[in-house]
Each structure stands twice: as structure tokens, then as C-alpha cells.
């Protein structure tokens, strides 16, 4: 097991235990932080939108066309990702993300 660090919309940083193979969205949701993930990880909405810390972007697989299509429906930054499309692995131990504003 490892951890991810999540900054919530109020600016508070949370360190969450992560399980290999789980989607980052599932980890955040199961620890009780306010992330919707309405589609359950099917890449059909953008309610799990996060901003990934710059130093972690190169460690992630690039977004798929489907993910980019969903990100087009919200206000994004260059470091925007859907957390349902990031599978946690030991290589991502210490991953830093920030929850995007609701509706953004």
C-alpha cells in the first residue's frame, strides 16, 4: 500500500492510503472526500475532475481520446485529468492531486 495526497476544495490537504489497481477517483470517494464520480469510472462524465501536480504528469499514462472529450465539457488547466482514468500503482506512491471546483 502507498498514499496519495489530495487537496480538497477548501485547500485542506489529505493523505489517503491507496490500493494498487484502484482508480484514484475510487480512493478519494471511499475516504469520504467530496468527489462525485457519477458514471462510476466509465469516463462518461467529468465529475471526478482533478488537477494533477506538475511533477506527476509525466508519470501518468496520457489521456485517451474519450477522456479528452469529457475534459472538453469543463473548464480545464494543462494538468487536468479525470481521476477515474488514473489507476493507482506503486509507482504513483505520493501522487498529488487537487479536486477541481464543482462544475469546472
Residue 55 lies in a domain: yes
CATH number for position 77: 3.10.20.30
**Domain residue limits at 57:** 2-99
Residue 104 lies in a domain: no
Q: pLDDT tens digits, residue range 5-56? A: 999 999 999 999 999 999 999 999 999 999 988 888 889 899 999 999 999 9
Q: Name residue, grid cell 469520504.
A: 32
Average pLDDT over all residues of the chain: 94
Q: Name residue, grid cell 509525466.
A: 58
How many separate domains does the chain show?
A: 1
Q: Which residues of 5-40 are buried (b: 16+ CB within 10 A; e: fewer)?
A: ebbeeeeeeeebebeeebbbbbbbbeeebebebebe
Amino acid at each position: 500500500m502507498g498514499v496519495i495526497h489530495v487537496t480538497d476544495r477548501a485547500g485542506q490537504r489529505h493523505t489517503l492510503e491507496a490500493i494498487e489497481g484502484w482508480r484514484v477517483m475510487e480512493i478519494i470517494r471511499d475516504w469520504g472526500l467530496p468527489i462525485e464520480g457519477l458514471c462510476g469510472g466509465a469516463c462518461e462524465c467529468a465529475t471526478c475532475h482533478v488537477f494533477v501536480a506538475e511533477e506527476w504528469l509525466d508519470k501518468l499514462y496520457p489521456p485517451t481520446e474519450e477522456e479528452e472529450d469529457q475534459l472538453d465539457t469543463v473548464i480545464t488547466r494543462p494538468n487536468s485529468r479525470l481521476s477515474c482514468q488514473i489507476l493507482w500503482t506503486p509507482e504513483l506512491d505520493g501522487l498529488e492531486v487537487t479536486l477541481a471546483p464543482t462544475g469546472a
